[in-house]
Homo-oligomer: A and B are copies of this chain.
Amino acid sequence: MLGDAYVDASLAAVTDFSRDLQQYVTQYCWGDIWNRPGLSLRERSLLNLAMLTALNRGHEFKAHVRGALNNGVTKDEIKEVLMQTAFYCGGPAALESFRLAAEVFDA
Contact = CB atoms under 8 A, between A and B. Distances in A.
A105 to B, nearest CB: 7
A24 B90 CA distance: 11
Nearest to A25: B91
A52 B56 CA distance: 12
Interface string A52-88: 1111110110000000000000011101111111111
Q: How many copies does the complex hold?
A: 6
A104 to B, nearest CB: 11
A7 interface: no
A20 B79 contact: yes
Contacts of A24: 28, 32, 83, 86
B87 A88 contact: no
Interface of A: 15, 17-18, 20-21, 24-25, 28-29, 32-33, 36, 38-39, 43-44, 46-48, 50-57, 59-60, 75-77, 79-96, 98-99, 101-102, 105
